[in-house]
Every structure is written in structure tokens, then in C-alpha cells.
A and B are shown apart, each in its own frame.
Chain A
Amino acid sequence: MAKYILKRVLRASVTLLIIITILFTLLRLMPIEGYFDNFDKVSSTQIQVKLNSLGLNDPLPKQLVRFYGQLLHGDLGTSNIYRKGVSINTIIAEKIPISVKFGLVSFALSLAFGLALGIWMAYSTRTRFKIGDRLGTILIVVVQAVPSAVYHIVIQFVGSQYAHIPMLFDPAQPVSYILPILSLSIGNTAYYAMWLRRYMVDEANKDYVMLARAKGVSSGAISRKHIFRNAMVPLVQYIPGSILSTLMGSLYVESLYSIPGMGGLLVTAIKRQDNTLVQALVLIYAVVSILGLLFGDIMMAIVDPRISLSKKEGSR
């Protein structure tokens, strides 16, 4: 187990290194306007002086080495336009708690509702009219098929128009938390419900379940102890990733409700072309998603002793 985790961590670090290099190289292609807050007014000499002082005219390998040095010291640089001269670490430290707060609440909600819906749907496939399954499928199809950018707008529209909930987030009004949290959790709710239902239905058709039934185990015990537990194994993989990704917030929902969190920050940084801020946020984004996958794999190996991912590395 320890060997597997070590191997997996090493792999993740190598992947991370490669991805940071790729992203850094890509980001060098960004328009240079993003390093100035008054690009139209400065002369070309001033531009060159600024670019030299930022080290952007150096050859790429040299820039990369310096960049890695900065990263090792935990320095992400300073913002150029969004809040000129302020360290990006400071900006992020203000934003992360807001995103995490929203993220964790909606994560808990979507897990609770998603699993409940999934179990209900799986259960109702065995009843006559399959009402639960049909209703749940409608929700899942709509959430999966309609682009999230669109159903968030619909939620905002309906909520503010007919339920008279404020359209934008306001820290002083607790009511205004409802719509963003609903928006944030609905996607994951449908996702968890869809997969749990599928895994539970698959699991219920397996031979060992039939054996348990033949032995006279009550159907409640079969569902709880066998079907549900085994069906949860593949889902467990996504949980660490979902928790970690709350650090980054949701790009779309946060800017839609003007929540001052991390996701909204990236959208603002892009709109205002603040290159250093975009770079830092993109890197954090990549790190968070890689760590999420890593913890997910480790978690799955812990939960299910049958899985030994070290052997079937090729099939990943």
C-alpha cells in the first residue's frame, strides 16, 4: 500500500512539473498588454524597460528556472492590473475562504441529496411504475444535457423573478445565499444520483446478491450491507476531488452572482487581462485538479482492498 502511494505521488509530481512547464510556456504567448495597466500611453522604450525588469525578454529556460525558484519560495508574483502591486498571495488569501464556504455547503448538500436520489431511483426500478426512476432520469437528462451556463441562468432567473430572492450575492442577506448554493449543488447532485443508481442496479443483478437472497437475508440488509457499499466504491474516487476543487470555486456561478471568490477572480483577471494573476490562478487550478485525482485514487485503494492499481498501470 505504502509503495503504491509513494509511486502514485511521484508520478503526480512528474505530471505536475510537466503541466506547469507547458502552461508557463503557453502563457508566454499571452498579449503583452496584460503586463501594463496603461498600455496605450507608454512609449515603446518604456515597454521594453518594463519587460526587461520583469525578465520577460530572457530566454525561456532562464525564465522557467527563475519561475520554479519563485514557486519554491511560495511566491506567485504581484498583480499588475487587478490590484496593482499587491502580492497575489494576499489577494488569494482573501478569496479562498469565501469559495470554500460556498463549496463545502453545496458539496455536503449534493452528496446528501444525490445519494438519496440515487438510492430512491435504484429502488424504484424494482417497483411497478418506476416513478422515482422516471422523475430522477428527467432531472439527470436536463442537468447533463443542457449546458451548465444555461441552467444556472434559468435558476437565477426563476429564483429572482418568482421567489423574489435577491439576484446577486449580498453578505448581509442570508437569503441571497440560497440561489448560488442551489446552482452549485444541482450539477453534482445529478451526477452522484446517476452513477449511484447505475452501480446499484448493476450490483443488484450480481450472483452474490442472489445467493444472499436465497439464504434468506432480508432485502434491507442486502441493500445496506452489500449493494450500497459496493456501489459506493467507484464514487468514493470523486469525493476528494470535489472537496479540493471548492478551493477554486466555480468560475461561472461565482461571477454570475458576483460572489467575491476564486472563480470570479479568474474571470475578472481574464476580462481585465492581468497576466500575472491569470498565470498564478491557472497554476493553482492545475495543482488542485491533479491533487484531487491523486487523493481520489489513493482513497479508492483504501476503501476497496481488491484494487491494486500498481499492477494494472497500463489500463489507466
Chain B
Amino acid sequence: MKNLYRQTTDTLGDKLNAQLAKDLDEDALLAQMGEGEAFSFAEFHPEAAERGGYSNYSYWRATLRAFFRNKTAVFFLCLMGATLLFTFIQPLLPGQKDPLLVHYGEWGLPLNNVPPNDEFWFGTNSIGQDLWSRIWAGTRTSLFIGFSVAVVEAVVGILAGVLWGYVRKLDFFFTELYNVLDNIPQTLLLILISYIMRPGVSTIIFALSLTGWLGMARFIRNQIIIIRDRDYNLASRCLGVPTRRIIFKNLLPYLVSVITMRMALAIPNAIGSEVFVTYIGIGLPVSIPSLGNLIQTGRSLMQMAVLRYQLIFPVAVLAVITISFYVIGNSFADAADPKNHVK
């Protein structure tokens, strides 16, 4: 990666030098020419006309370059990529056990609380289920919750934010709605919804999405108000570009980086909320393995030193996932800021 990067910059630098030398030559040439020659009418070349003001700055190329320069971020990206990939291919690998299957020993007794060994890599839990496969199944559940909440947050938040920022008549309505909803603590709403509705994956997603979009909507709204009346948007409007096209082509691309960051940070938050409601006792039932109920089970056993592996393994997996998302989200936001592109 580093070599490739260096090679690219070097080639680019050489090209620029060559161009500069050529330009200087032309100047020298011009100086030698007489006045009549220098100011004669030039022929019209369409390609040459297009060339004016060209810069080979590419936003995404610069963003990615800035991101990959950050070694910590790259490390966590690889770590997260590997974890995610493994989480999804794990059930397809040979020799994996069913996370809900109770294993029995020779005399028909359940193999409960077996410490990690060759057969059960992370040991078994108190009723004899394989902890290794339960952890990966739980990671899938938790990631599913996280991704769903992030997607809902992005879709609803962008839609509401765009309407709020762009349609002036709706400003009052949305501002008041925001003021009311934002005052309700998210934890409280999460508890209430989980208490009222049946515990399950969809309940948690619903409860977290209910107010999760507010922050995104408010952010998008503020940005849109700032850039809505910039000259290029005014120009588009004068040329009769439909509003929808202005929003999708002029406004939203400007906000992609922050939207991505907010989505990346929503995922660890959702995973943490699931752990929390499960702890209070209104989260997922044990039949749906999730990082929340694995940690909860592990916690209740942690006084016994031999059984501590049941807490340590899920906590480690959870920490890797949440820290990776957090670091990647923040580094990406830094890299996406054009101020950091000049180096």
C-alpha cells in the first residue's frame, strides 16, 4: 500500500514538473515573439476550451489517501473486516456446532460448564451449549441490530433533515417536534418500549430507531441551511433544476462523509443498548443468542474463577467490534474533511 502510494505521488510529481518546465518554455517563447504574432487570433479548439481550470483533485481519492495514511485506522479496519467476514462465514465452516444444541456426554448427562478444550473451543455454558458458536451467533444478532438501527437512522434522518432544512414551511413543525422528542432520555424510551412490547430483536430496533434519527436530522438540517443558498445552488435554481435533483446532486454528496460517520457510531451504540436492556431483564430471551445475554450470563457466573471464560470471551469480541467501529468512524470523518487533504 505504502509503496503504491509513494509510486503514485512520485509519478504525479514528475508529471507536474514536466508540465511546469513546458509552461516556462512557452513563456520564454512568447517573450521572443513580436507583438503582432503574440496577439493574433487563436483558432478555436473545443478540447482546449474544456481544459481551463482543471485540477486533478479528486475528493474521494484524497479522502481515501488521508484515511489510509492513518495507521491505527487501517489496523482497526483490517481487524473489523476480518471479524465481520468470520462472523458471517463461521456457520458455513465444517465442524461448527448449532448454537442452540445441548451437548450430552457418555452417560446422557449434559456437558455443562466444560472449560475451553479441543472440542469446545470456548467451552460450554451452564446447560451444555457450545459457547464458540453461541458467541458468533450472538455477534450476528448484535450486528444485525446495529446495522438495522444505523440504516433506519440514516434513511429517516436524511429524509426528515432534508425536508426540515429545505422546505421553509415545515421548519416550525420540525423544530418543535425536535424540541419535544430530544428532551426524552433515550434510555428511558428504550426501557419503556421494551417493557410495553414483547422482548425481541424488532422491539429493540424499534425503540432505538424511534429517537435515533433526531441527531442525524438536525445535523443535516443545519448543513442544508448553510449551503442551501450558496451560489452554485442559486445557479441551479435559476436554471430551473428541480428541487429533488438539487438535493440529491448538490446537497447530499456534500454530507456523505458525516452521514457515514454517524452510521458507524450508531452501531456500537445500538449494540451497547442491547446489552443494557438485557441486563435490566427486558432484553432478548436466551433462545436468541446475543452478545447482551451472553455477557449477562457470564456476569452472573463471574465469582467462580473456573467459569470466568464465559464472561471474558463475549466481552472481548464485543470490545473488538465496538472499538473498531468507533475508531474507523472517527478517522473516516477526519479524513473526509477537506481541510485535512492539503498535505
Contact = CB atoms under 8 A, between A and B. Distances in A.
B280 A141 contact: no
Contacts of A150: 272, 275, 295, 315, 318-319
What size tier do the contact residues of chain A reach? Answer: 35 or more
Given A141-B323, A290-B183, A315-B222, A149 B281 contact: no
A27 interface: yes
A29 B196 contact: yes
B315 A145 contact: no
A271 B325 contact: no
A290 B181 CA distance: 11
Contact of B196 (A26, A147, A148): A26
A31 B299 CA distance: 29
A316 B188 contact: no
B326 A148 contact: no
A2 interface: no
Nearest to A148: B272
Nearest to B302: A157
A278 B184 CA distance: 16
Contact of B311 (A11, A153, A266, A285): A153
A252 interface: yes
Interface string A1-43: 0000000000100010011001100110111000000000000
A314 interface: yes
A51 interface: no
Given A147-B271, A251-B187, A270-B191, A154 B325 contact: no
A212 B74 CA distance: 40
B192 A282 contact: yes
A147 B179 contact: no
Interface in B291-331: 295, 299, 302-303, 311, 315, 318-319, 322-323, 325-327
B147 interface: no
A293 interface: yes
Nearest to B178: A316
A313 B299 CA distance: 47
B271 A167 contact: no
Contact of B323 (A31, A142, A148, A293): A142
Contacts of B188: 282, 285-286
A289 interface: yes
Contacts of A149: 272, 275-276, 279, 295
Interface string B159-201: 0000000000001000100011001110110011001100000
A26 B188 CA distance: 12
A13 to B, nearest CB: 12
B282 interface: yes
Interface in B208-229: 222
Interface in A238-291: 251-252, 255, 266-267, 270-271, 278, 282, 285-286, 289-290
Contacts of A289: 183-185
B138 interface: no
A252 B185 CA distance: 15
A265 B133 CA distance: 36
A157 B311 contact: yes
Nearest to B184: A19
B268 interface: yes
B273 to A, nearest CB: 8
Given A26-B192, A252-B279, A285-B185, A146 B319 contact: yes
A290 B182 CA distance: 10
B143 to A, nearest CB: 14
A195 to B, nearest CB: 14
A19 B195 CA distance: 18
Contacts of A27: 192, 196
B282 A270 contact: yes
Contacts of A18: 180
A23 B323 contact: no
B313 to A, nearest CB: 13
Contacts of A271: 280-281
A285 B323 CA distance: 30
A48 interface: no
A145 B299 contact: no
A147 B326 contact: no
B196 A30 contact: yes
A125 B192 CA distance: 44
A30 B195 contact: yes
A157 B316 CA distance: 14
B149 to A, nearest CB: 14
B323 A278 contact: no
Contacts of A142: 323
Contacts of A46: none
A15 B273 CA distance: 26
Given A26-B196, A145-B326, A146-B322, A15 B311 contact: no
A125 B135 CA distance: 40
Given A251-B280, A286-B185, A153 B295 contact: yes
A144 interface: yes
Contact of A147 (B222, B276, B299, B311): B276
A115 to B, nearest CB: 22
Interface of A: 11, 15, 18-19, 22-23, 26-27, 29-31, 141-142, 144-150, 153-154, 157, 167, 251-252, 255, 266-267, 270-271, 278, 282, 285-286, 289-290, 293, 313-316
Given A146-B322, A313-B175, 8 more contacts: A142-B323, A145-B325, A146-B318, A147-B272, A147-B275, A157-B302, A286-B185, A315-B222
A-B pairs with lowest CB-CB distance, top 3 = A147-B272, A145-B326, A149-B275
27 contacts: A11-B179, A15-B183, A19-B183, A23-B192, A29-B196, A30-B195, A145-B323, A146-B272, A146-B323, A147-B318, A147-B322, A148-B272, A149-B272, A149-B275, A150-B315, A153-B295, A153-B302, A251-B187, A251-B280, A266-B191, A270-B282, A278-B195, A285-B188, A286-B188, A289-B184, A314-B175, A316-B179
